[in-house]
Amino acid sequence: MKRVLVVCLGNICRSPIGEELLRIHAKKKNLKLFVDSAGTSGWHQGNLPDPRSCEVMRRHGHSIESQRSRPLVEQDLHTFDYILVMDAQNFADVSALTPGTADIKQFIEKTDVPDPYYGPGDGFQRVYDMLNAAAKDWIDSWANESNGALR
């Protein structure tokens, strides 16, 4: 079973959406996956996801209200197989921690997923669309690996 951690800045906007979308696509492929999310800051520790993240997920028939924000800790780099970050700054912040065994990648290769917190009203829907497509791609790739297919 793969262990995946999704990381953004505060763990209330992007990473909760990414976490749930990975879980949803893994279930569709019957892929065993443990997925969690965290933030590079602890500003929102213990808080629910942003209401706008919850709303965009509800519009698509999903719920993230059981998630709570937590900060990234160094142990995460040893606990997880993959750490999928939302942008180049998250990548730098995670990479600056003590090296671990996790493979650190951008959720969308060479693309920053914009933080919708202060952005325009449609930002959460745009983030959902970006993460949904990328989550499906990650799951398809991992499902092919587990079936012996080449990437």
Does residue 23 have an active-site annotation?
Answer: no
High-pLDDT (> 90) share of the chain, %: 91
Q: Residue holding tokens 């951690």?
A: 5
Does residue 8 have an active-site annotation?
Answer: yes
Q: Residue holding tokens 């012996």?
A: 148
- The token duo for 11 is 């763990």
Does residue 14 have an active-site annotation?
Answer: yes
Among 70, 93, 115, 137, the active-site one is 115
The pLDDT tens digits for 20-75 are 999 999 999 999 999 999 999 999 999 999 999 999 999 999 999 999 999 999 99
What residues does each domain of the chain span? 2-144
At residue 121, the pLDDT reads: 78
Among 13, 14, 23, 87, the active-site one is 14
CA–CA distances in Å: residue 41 to residues 36, 94, 114: 16, 11, 17
- Mean pLDDT of the chain, nearest integer: 95
CA–CA distances in Å: residue 134 to residues 25, 57, 102, 111, 116: 10, 16, 19, 11, 17
Helix (H, G, I), strand (E, B) or coil at 6: strand
Please work out, in degrees rounded to the nearest 5, the angle formed at the alpha carbon of residue 141 by the alpha carbons of 138 and 143. Answer: 105
The enclosing H or E element of 59 equals helix 51-59
Contact 87, 108 (CB under 8 A): no
* Average pLDDT, integer, range 127-132: 98
At residue 98, the pLDDT reads: 87
pLDDT-based confidence at residue 151 (cuts at 50, 70, 90): very low
CA distance 142 to 151: 9
Contact 8, 85 (CB under 8 A): yes
Among 8, 13, 23, 76, the active-site one is 8
pLDDT-based confidence at residue 119 (cuts at 50, 70, 90): confident
Q: Which CATH superfamily is domain 2-144 in?
A: Response regulator (3.40.50.2300)
At residue 148, the pLDDT reads: 54
At residue 150, the pLDDT reads: 41
* Average pLDDT, integer, range 96-119: 95
Residue 11 has pLDDT above 90, yes or no: yes
At residue 146, the pLDDT reads: 72
